[in-house]
Copies of this chain bind each other. A is one copy, B any other.
Amino acid sequence: MSSKKIEIQLMDEDELSLNLIEAQYFLKNTRGQKNAKSVLVLVNGIELAGKGESVKQLREWVDPRYLKVKADPSIMLDQKQTFWQPYAPFIPAEGQLMVMFGNWYSDLLVTAMHVSKPLDETVFDAYIKDMRAFEQDLKNNHVDVIKVWFDLSWKSLQKRLDNMDPSEVHWHKLHGVDWHDKKPYDNVQKLRRRFTQDWTIIDGEDEELRDQQFAQIILAAMKNCPEHSTQSTAKWKQAAIPELLLHPENQPITKENYKKELKTLSLKVAEALRFDDLKAIVVLEGMDAAGKGGAIKRIVKNLDPREYDIYSIAAPERYEARHPYLWRFWNKLQTDEDITIFDRSWYGRVLVERVEGLTHEAEWQRAYDEINRFEKDLVNSQTVVIKLWLAISKDEQAVRFKAREDTPHKRFKITPEDWRNREKWDDYLSAAADMFERTSTAYAPWYIIANNDKNTARLEVLHAILKQLRVE
């Protein structure tokens, strides 16, 4: 990686403006097409180098209705949320152009500059690595990420500070750094050199050149919308199907023992989920009628509804489908809720979407790594990710389907589609096998729980939660 050097040709302003507007419409019209994408521009740089001016100039050249600008003050990176969480809601949808001033890099810089103990280089570089991986995932999911650093020499910065209108001083002091002091300037330059290798560096010296260069970079990004590759190049190696999925028989338990154990265990689970300093995410997956709903009921038995969120995941809404597929899950984790339960989850990407052909080969094959990174980020942010697969046999499913059909108030749980899905039973088993193989990580392993006997399984679900919370 090396900073891009761009030869700037000054364009006629009206022509540039016209080109930008046409590119905006072109980008907008990719929505729903094979070349659909959005453009996210991350803007950072030296104070007074002209970031703000260039964005204002851009706004005058383009059709302002189709340019979004997000600009909030930087926030310190901490252990309580991932670096992308504050920005997830603002990731642009297909066809959109978004310029983001405050972003994960400004947060990183502010954190590195302001902590009493400077950030360890290893920690700093680990952040950079995670950020780049996140951006690559965005790109793969049709969000083009353009990174622009507005630079300014020490001499020019001093000159601009001296010539600054007094009313402006206040704003520029807001960043809490005295820019007349060479030490923080050098520090910023040193720090940013650790990550700007793959950025476009814009020299803030010449205002006209600067504005044009910024606009032209964005113009180029908007015009470049190739069709997405949909076919995987690598040969797919199907994982072996775990024995437990083929034979999900478990030891039945007497009703009396079940009730007794359930009481103790569910109290223990409530306590563990509640008192832990960590946030907890519980994911339940499994075939239809595998008993996810019943398991959830036992997990929350001794919790108050104010203590948890439950999401039942179905197909995405139309506006959600215009974002990276993980986007709707990023946003469901924005609240302060400490306990979040997913009845089906982001694993739909590699289960139903794969089996039903709703997503291209290249996409679901890429998803395993994306999901692992997503969960890793969460685990690094004081979250325990508990993943449970409830396994039942095909015969047991048929029994439960029929029982549902025979019970009026349970009939809603069963549709012709459920019977149709049964025909793809083996495909789902294969998809599940690949999922275990590729996403059962050390930090977020899968717990496969045989569920032919419901009660035994429910107790095992509780044991698995306690185990992953390190209580058992």
A171 at interface, CB cutoff 8 A: yes
User: Looking at the complex, which one of B167, B171, B302, B305 makes contact with A55 (CB distance below 8 Å)?
Assistant: B305
Chain B residues positioned under 8 Å from A102 (CB to CB): 306
Q: Which of A59-117 contact B (CB under 8 A)?
A: 59-61, 63-65, 69, 71-73, 101-102
Which residues, 165 to 183 on A, are CB-close (under 8 Å) to B? Answer: 165, 167-168, 170-171
Copies in the complex: 2
A236 in contact (CB, < 8 A): no
Judge whether B101 and A56 touch: CB under 8 Å: no
Are B165's CB and A267's CB within 8 A? yes
CA distance A297 to B337 in the complex (A): 41
* Residue count of chain A within 8 Å CB distance of chain B: 55
A167→B302 CA distance, assembly (Å): 9
Candidates B165, B171, B305, B314; contact of A65 at CB < 8 Å: B314
Residues of chain B within 8 A of A293, CB atoms compared: 64
B300 touches A167 (CB 8 A): no
> Which stretch from A199-207, A217-225, A404-412, A455-463 is at the chain B interface?
A404-412
Whether B312 lies near A65 (C-beta < 8 A) is yes
A470 interface residue per 8 A CB criterion: no
Residues of B within 8 A of A64 (CB): 293, 310, 312, 343
Q: Say yes or no for A271: interface residue by CB 8 A criterion.
A: yes
Indicate if the CB atoms of A335 and B72 lie closer than 8 Å: yes
Inter-chain contacts of A7 with B (CB < 8 A): none
**In chain B, what residue has the closest Cβ to A335?**
B72
Q: Are A101 and B306 in contact (CB under 8 A)?
A: yes
Q: Which of B71, B275, B306, B407 meets A71, CB within 8 Å? A: B306
Among B72, B309, B312, B318, the residue within 8 A (CB) of A306 is B72
Question: Does A300 contact B56, Cβ atoms closer than 8 Å?
Answer: yes
